[in-house]
Amino acid sequence: MKRYSHPRIKPPFFKNPLLFCICVFSVCSVKAQNTDIPIETQNTALVLQTDRNNGPHIVYFGKKLKNKSEYDLVQSMYEQNMDYTGIANSPYTPAGSRNLFEPAIEVTHADGNNSLDLKFISAKTEKISDDISLTSVLLKDPVYDFQVTLFYKIYFKENVVEQWSEIKNNEKGNVTLHKFASANLYLQGKSFYLKQYHGDWAQEMHPEEEQITHGIKTLDSKLGTRADLFQPPVFMVSVNQSSNEDNGEVLLGSVEWSGNYRTDLELDNKNNLRIISGINNYASDYPLEPGKIFTTAKFLYTVSYSGTGDASRQLQRWARDYKLLDGNGSRLTLLNNWESTYFNFDEEKLKQLFNDTKKLGVNLFLLDDGWFGNKYPRNNDRAGLGDWQENKKKIPNGIASLIKEANADGVQFGIWLEPEMVNPKSELYEKHPDWVIRQPKRPEYYFRNQLELDLSNPKVQDFVFGVIDSLFIKNPGLAYIKWDCNAVIYNAYHSYENNQSKLYVDYVQGLYSVLKHIRAKYPTVPMMLCSGGGGRVDYGALQYFTEYWPSDNTDPLERIFIQWEYSYFYPAIASSNHVTDWGQQPLKYRVDVAMMGKLGFDIPVSKLSEKDLAFCQSAVKIYNSFKNIVWHGDQYRLQSPWTNDVAAIIYVDSTKSSAVVFNYLVNNRYNTGSALPVHFKGLDANRKYKIKEINLYPGTHSTLKENAIYSGDFLMTVGFNPGVNADRPSVVLMVEEVD
Ligand code: DGJ
């Protein structure tokens, strides 16, 4: 059966090439019945079309067609079940009228009526740069004075789309938003496969993949803060068959929101997949006053027809160019003291650590948790959070003098903060109990002995901004911030607002307003996004941060898996990888794994043997020589740790003239190793490359032929054997073009 029985009028948009050109190169506005709105990237197209009643539909979502006029023919090729609603493929499904599926938006109007219908009014496309354009589509309810504008921001070359909506109440009284998704996609295919992630502390990014069955699969968080602890917002959907690195049609998606999110994947009666994603509406009925606009979070996705590797490179490139703070810049290597001292340090110890930082040859010393609180000193995690004054016993001369000392050693100084939180044992809690998220009539319940401050309250926002601001005012030499967030929200209640349903959304808005304020005043200072490990890694936050902390689990074997999975969604330059004492692997293995991102150390340097220290010192120098390839190059996953004895990853610079290859033994059974060559990717088949093993442990020698030369063709077709085995469990190769 044909999906639309409505007669179609050929839209002027495609018929008239001149009109199309005008639209592409300037602001284009279309107002017509039976309008086609193609939203195209370099390789993909999402085509909206209105029916004769001005109802909007997604009529195509797939590979871009050469001839735009053929989008009109797509639906005539489908003979699927009946769409009883006529709006199953709505680009923003309204609840309460004809809809029978999961809605994108659900409201109660000012008069108490629950129905919503959304009709197409107009659309326009604005060209923002050579690469970016923004299409907005205005929809209105024909009965109620209520409108939604859908936004599609296109990153053409990267095949990335950001979608969000603005919901406007023009009615005379308050409207309540019960659901307010960012985006509503509609995919047609034989079958769909969902790769999703789950985890817990130190177990981030565990993947699971399954074929999507009928009904709804929901990925969500209700944790409030540290929202990704059990389930991060990233996912992949493959069409027709499960994708692999180099093959398959795959969508990588995520919500840009640092709180409760929700993604529903609904396989409908026509066997089509509806993806509805955005802020979680859980406990969050949101009031919208007359004349006010609610802007949803952004839903982000990229689509590739050449597998997950290509999709991830698109996303990584997009993040570096457009989202991550200073995504194409440089990063500081560092020594962190968390695992070498925990809360137990003083000025003497810190001076020694500055010296160790210098000895290692890294850029910065990062002072972690435990430096603050006096009435309730932060000597463990049960007290002091909120009291951001230097602890007089531990650092009597203050941060300023620490910075001076560190700088005298040629080392920069950074500091840990957890400014959204409070311990009940703190002066802040005593002074401002009304600033704390807690149920007034119920006992408090703690996560790591702490509670959240109510960031929906502007006074609390000012306080949190003030914590950072006064640190910088007093200590202009401060070079780095690690921003932690260790608790989830229990007992969600804020005394600032009567309407408790606003808390989860307003908290995140409050957090963003603080971060915006910080970035307006301190635009470049590097900041690490940390949340008891990777409890808050998302692009809503990462636009304010230069890097994130993937996990407290720094066992290198574990990290290979964790970093592998994160890398589908986030670029290596953002991944903070520290060498610690976790795990059973040799020091070289730990360092090699940490090099696949932003290298740091968190080990007692003074206790290293002479050889270990010499190795670390030389490793830092070697890392500095190739870090730009890892940070700014293209990453190709060569052999997965999930299915191979040896995991391998290559980073190739943009000119394809140099690359670094990391190879790791991930199975310790008898006689395992690189029996077969590893097939390289991303090189130029017509060029010649010299291969050299680097980062060897002192006193060891490479078993590989020194500086052997191969063509790119050979390396990518036959491959190269890195000689990984139990004696050489990690091998790093430098690949350089030769004439
Ligand atoms: C959790 C972080 O993930 C750790 O790196 C460390 O900063 C601790 N918090 C400090 O309390």
Closest residue CA from atom 4 of ligand 1? 532
pLDDT band for 31, please (50, 70, 90 cuts). Answer: very low
pLDDT tens digits, one per residue of 439-473: 999 999 999 999 999 999 999 999 999 999 999 99
Residue 10 has what pLDDT? 35
CA gap 204, 558 in Å, rounded: 10
Of 6-20, 66-80, 252-266, 276-290, the least confident = 6-20
pLDDT band for 713, please (50, 70, 90 cuts). Answer: very high
Residue 23 has what pLDDT? 41
- Ligand 1 atom closest to residue 549's alpha carbon, by position in its atom list: 3
Question: Which residue carries 């692997």 as its tokens?
Answer: 585
**Using CA of residue 665, residue 317, residue 233, residue 448, what is the dihedral sign?**
positive
pLDDT band for 35, please (50, 70, 90 cuts). Answer: confident
pLDDT tens digits, one per residue of 515-548: 999 999 999 999 999 999 999 999 999 999 999 9
Q: What is the mean pLDDT of residues 308-324?
A: 98
- Evaluate whether 93 touches 105 at the Cβ level (below 8 Å): yes
Q: What is the mean pLDDT of residues 713-722?
A: 98
CA of 452 to the centre of ligand 1 (A): 16
- Evaluate whether 260 touches 502 at the Cβ level (below 8 Å): no
pLDDT tens digits, one per residue of 331-342: 999 999 999 999
- Evaluate whether 366 touches 317 at the Cβ level (below 8 Å): no
Residue 13 has what pLDDT? 36
pLDDT band for 7, please (50, 70, 90 cuts). Answer: very low
What's the fold here for domain 32-323? Beta-galactosidase; Chain A, domain 5 (2.70.98)
pLDDT tens digits, one per residue of 493-520: 999 999 999 999 999 999 999 999 999 9
Show me where the domains of the chain are located: 1-31, 32-323
Q: What is the mean pLDDT of residues 42-46?
A: 98
The answer on pLDDT for 24 being more than 90 is no
pLDDT tens digits, one per residue of 591-624: 999 999 999 999 999 999 999 999 999 999 999 9
Provide DSSP, 152-211.
EEEETTTTEEEEEEEEEE-SSS-EEEEEEEEEEEEE--S-EEEEEEE--TT---EEEEEE
Residue 707 has what pLDDT? 86
CA gap 167, 151 in Å, rounded: 11
Residue 26 has what pLDDT? 40
CA of 490 to the centre of ligand 1 (A): 20
Residue 9 has what pLDDT? 32
The answer on pLDDT for 29 being more than 90 is no
Q: What is the mean pLDDT of residues 77-106?
A: 96
Rg (CA), the chain: 27
pLDDT tens digits, one per residue of 129-186: 999 999 999 999 999 999 999 999 999 999 999 999 999 999 999 999 999 999 999 9
State whether the beta carbon of 486 lies less than 6 angstroms from ligand 1: yes
State whether the beta carbon of 534 lies less than 6 angstroms from ligand 1: no
State whether the beta carbon of 452 lies less than 6 angstroms from ligand 1: no
CA gap 210, 197 in Å, rounded: 12
The answer on pLDDT for 276 being more than 90 is yes
Average pLDDT, the chain: 95
CA gap 567, 578 in Å, rounded: 16
Any idea what the Cα angle at residue 355 is, between residues 351 and 358, rounded to 5°? 140
- Ligand 1 atom closest to residue 533's alpha carbon, by position in its atom list: 3
pLDDT tens digits, one per residue of 97-138: 999 999 999 999 999 999 999 999 999 999 999 999 999 999
Exposure letters 658-670 (e unless 16+ CB within 10 A, then b): bbbbbbbbbeeee
Return the percentage of the chain with pLDDT > 90, whole number: 95
CA of 532 to the centre of ligand 1 (A): 5
State whether the beta carbon of 268 lies less than 6 angstroms from ligand 1: no
Q: Which of 303, 439, 431, 441 is nearest to 376 (CA)?
A: 431
Residue 661 has what pLDDT? 99
Q: Whole-model pTM?
A: 0.95
Residue 103 has what pLDDT? 98
- Evaluate whether 486 touches 533 at the Cβ level (below 8 Å): no
CA gap 413, 336 in Å, rounded: 10
The answer on pLDDT for 492 being more than 90 is yes
The half-sphere exposure of 336 on its side-chain side, counting CA atoms within 13 A, is 27
CA gap 706, 712 in Å, rounded: 17
**Helices 398-408 and 458-474, axial angle in degrees (round to 10):** 40
Exposure letters 469-482 (e unless 16+ CB within 10 A, then b): eebeeebeebbbbb
- Ligand 1 atom closest to residue 482's alpha carbon, by position in its atom list: 7
